[in-house]
Amino acid sequence: MKPETRKEEIIKTAAKLFKEKGYSAVTMRDLATAMGIKAASLYNHITSKQEILKVIIISLAEEFTQEMNLIKTSNHKAIDKLQMIVSLHVQITVKNTYGMACLNNDWMHLEEQLDYYLELRKKYEQDFIDIIKSGIKSNEIIDSNPEIIMFSILSTLRSLYLWIPKKEDINSNSLAQSLSKVLISGINT
Amino acid sequence: MKPETRKEEIIKTAAKLFKEKGYSAVTMRDLATAMGIKAASLYNHITSKQEILKVIIISLAEEFTQEMNLIKTSNHKAIDKLQMIVSLHVQITVKNTYGMACLNNDWMHLEEQLDYYLELRKKYEQDFIDIIKSGIKSNEIIDSNPEIIMFSILSTLRSLYLWIPKKEDINSNSLAQSLSKVLISGINT
DNA sequence: CAAGCAAACTAACAAGTGTTAGTTAAATAT
DNA sequence: ATATTTAACTAACACTTGTTAGTTTGCTTG
């Protein structure tokens, strides 16, 4: 068992608070209280409130970017790639629910790193659309507006953080499978 | 053309700012500057920052509640009811994009009205699930976890505010139709 | 035992927060 | 013409914000 550093503890606690109230509404004194220390003591471990946000969001965004690169350069069919994307989101959200909430709701409060984040997000969405387009070309996916399809799927995946903590028995694999079926095959008989 | 009251102007402007930065990050001075006046002058029209949030969110939540009551007591088939829900979300989001962003992101900053809001939301989601369950019973909808189905559809509908402003030519009806098709029939061939 | 270090503390600051009080100027109604 | 209303203003308040400086405490290592 690797001992978690104090800094990692702070970031984890911050992510939890950010999920509940949002970055702006959480004060350094709130965070300190949650850690059982005084606000000034936080600065022995982190350099600023902003740094906490940066670490939470950028590390997640880079993880998504990396995994997307593996998926898009793989040799699977488009539909299978979509399933891999669903699994990716489920897995990361299960592992780091608070961070995902933060990524979704507080990205606009990034300062130095805002442009970088937006760039990563834009690329991710473009890769997503390209996969859908290739699936349309290969006749795996209906010839409908790729943006609507992307938006529809990605909205659900991005909202997973709202829903996953409610389920006690989160089996990542079975959730990813159920979700893939609904998103890809629809719900009608 | 009914002349908009000053209070309505303030609330509209506030909703726009809240969408961009969130309730907590928008100061009364920000809002005043956006209105071209001083912060103290706002208080000739509104009683508090909190009141602005309340008006934006509660009026929308009540509108959804009212429309949901019409839909659920109607005589349509379950699938048609789902389509009506999709249309409802598209229509309200087109009409009040900023307010919908606020509803989705800032509800937790409600004070007096938080419990009331949560109650309305809970009822809405329960009605939604009941429609899905009735569709499963009548064999219109696949016999899958109703919660997953509800979550999947509602996540997309709740994220519409992120997507609708990007499209210049939003034809509500055609968007609702495309979206219904993707959400209900899926995307595979 | 001494030195070094990690991690907490108290005290304080400068800037920004929502909000109130009291006033003024122009438009509208009597 | 006078009175009322609307909507802005200046000045200030009490409090909260992120952050810095300097200090203390207890553990670990030479």
pLDDT, tens digit, for every residue of A122-141? Answer: 999 999 999 999 999 999 99
Q: Are A55 and A102 in contact (CB under 8 A)?
A: no
pLDDT score of B168 more than 70: no
Mean pLDDT of A82-107: 97
Domain boundaries in chain A?
50-185
B149 closest CA partner among A188, A150, A171 = A188
Tell me the nearest-neighbour CA distance from A173 into chain B, angstroms: 14
A41 closest CA partner among A10, A87, A3, A13 = A10
Please, which pLDDT band fits residue A14 given cuts at 50, 70 and 90?
Answer: very high
Candidate from B2-11, B83-92, B113-122, B145-154 with smallest mean pLDDT: B2-11
Mean pLDDT of B65-72: 98
CB within 8 Å of A177: residues ≥ 6 apart:
none
**A50-185: CATH number:** 1.10.357.10
Chain-chain contact of A145 with B179 (C-beta, under 8 angstroms): no
pLDDT score of A82 more than 60: yes
pLDDT, tens digit, for every residue of B24-67? Answer: 999 999 999 999 999 999 999 999 999 999 999 999 999 999 99
- The contact set of A with B (CB < 8 A) is 20-25, 79, 105, 108-109, 132, 139-142, 144-145, 148-149, 151-153, 155-156, 158-159, 162-163, 175, 178-179, 181-189
pLDDT, tens digit, for every residue of B4-22? Answer: 899 999 999 999 999 999 9
pLDDT, tens digit, for every residue of A57-69? Answer: 999 999 999 999 9
User: How many residues are listed for chain A in this entry?
Assistant: 189
Cα–Cα distance measured from residue B45 to residue A36, given in angstroms and rounded to the nearest whole number: 42
Quickly tell me which residue has 């069919």 as its tokens: A77
**B53-185: CATH number:** 1.10.357.10
**CA of residue B99 to C1' of nucleotide D7, angstroms:** 26
Predicted pLDDT at A168: 62
Please, which pLDDT band fits residue A169 given cuts at 50, 70 and 90?
Answer: low
